[in-house]
Amino acid sequence: MLTQRLTFAVVIVVAGCMAQTTEPSGTPDMKVAAAPAKVFKWKMVTTWPKNYPVLGTAPERFAKAVNEMSNGRLQIKVFGAGEIVPALEVFDAVSRGTVQMGHGVAYYWKGKVPEAQWFAAVPFGFTAREVNGWLHYGGGLALWREVYKPHGIIPFAGGNSGTQMGGWFNKEVNSLADIQGLKMRIPGLGGEIFKRAGGVPVLLPGSEIFTALQTGAIDATEWVGPYNDLAFGLHKAAKYYYSPGWHEPGPILELMVNEKAYNTLPDDLQAIVKYGARYSNQDMLDEYTARNIEALEKLVGEHDVQLRTFPPDVMKRFRELAAEVMKDERDRSELGKRIYDSFMKFKAGSRAYFQVAEDAYGEVR
């Protein structure tokens, strides 16, 4: 009997110990220290001046959102143009792994990756709404990632300004004759079209535009739209402000991630980067829509800026040349042809839909 009682007592004690090991942590005498979460510290370089309105602040907001969503496990420090690398070397810095991320616009890398221009701004191409549809639901993003894959970069859409302005000119443009020999800061495919029309395209980072226009090094410049143009004070260097922005109807800003760095992240942090980019992409467009309304009123009402529209013959010639340039880009490579085919198919469908939707509504409201 004594033996039985002792055996029973041992069973009770063991069972009690086993029960304790399954108790939730937090019991005063049962706390189990959790392993500290690994913290990833990344650097992002941009093509914009530090904290420049919207273009420069959007990467900062992206970094803040990622930090909050990851509970501090992924921390991204943002550097403006020139702080680590010059504006036009952002792509190389991300590709080499010098930094983990970059923010810019793809036409700056056309010398290294000609096909990248399709994912920046296509003259007479998509608006912001259309390009987002093509990228995320029309196959565009998969093609973009195929373009960047050999360079070890994963691209994400990281913002959009909406349809831009046609630019600032120090004299009126009344016909195609006024384009001849005109030196204009205009990058990407728009620059090639301007060149074929008889102009002289110049590639400059944003930080150099005002001085170049003010000193006469260039005769005209495009930048973004009223909000950013006002911030740069471009109205102090040129009088005539033209629309529409035929060269950048829905330009894509990009968030570039070094592929090796991205693959070191656990699945949840990869998802935070992915969906953080989608947030940043829409947030930039929302802000530009609101800020441009206010800034245009100020430019015209307070600074006496002279709004102009490009003459019909200029627009007609630019449109003809755009078709030629796009076909030339198509013929560069097999990948270029697939991008062109995808782009044009989506554009045709979008045009048919918008004619009975947005465009039709715009006519009657």
pLDDT, averaged in runs of 10, over the chain (365 residues) = 40 40 44 75 96 95 98 98 96 98 96 95 97 98 98 98 97 96 96 98 92 97 97 96 97 98 98 98 98 97 96 97 97 96 97 94 93
Mean confidence (pLDDT) of the chain: 91
Q: How far, in whole angstroms, is CA 170 from its chain's centroid?
A: 29
Q: Which pLDDT score is estimated for 36?
A: 76
Q: Contact, 159 vs 284, CB < 8 A?
A: yes
- At position 284, the amino acid (one-letter code) is M
Q: Which helix (H) or strand (E) holds 151?
A: none
Model's pTM, two decimal places? 0.87
| Cβ neighbours of 96 (radius 10 Å) | 13
The ranges assigned to domains in the chain are: 40-328
Q: Say how far apart CA 170 and CA 138 lie, in whole Å.
A: 41
Instruction: Return the structure tokens found at 42.
Output: 């990344």
Instruction: Return the structure tokens found at 244.
Output: 């529409």
Options 3.40.50.10470, 3.40.50.800, 1.10.30.50, 3.40.190.170; which CATH number does 40-328 get? Answer: 3.40.190.170
What lies within 8 Å, CB to CB, of 247 at 6+ separation is 121, 123, 164, 166, 186, 188, 189, 190, 193, 194, 222
Instruction: Return the structure tokens found at 109.
Output: 């890398």
Q: Which pLDDT score is estimated for 103?
A: 98
Instruction: Return the structure tokens found at 30.
Output: 């049962």
Q: Say how far apart CA 363 and CA 365 lie, in whole Å.
A: 6
Closest CA to 283 of 165, 145, 128, 130: 128
Q: Which pLDDT score is estimated for 347?
A: 97
Q: Which pLDDT score is estimated for 19?
A: 40
Ramachandran region of residue 74, left (φ > 0), alpha (ψ -120 to 50) or beta?
beta
Q: Contact, 200 vs 181, CB < 8 A?
A: yes
CA angle 244, 361, 165 (to 5 degrees): 10
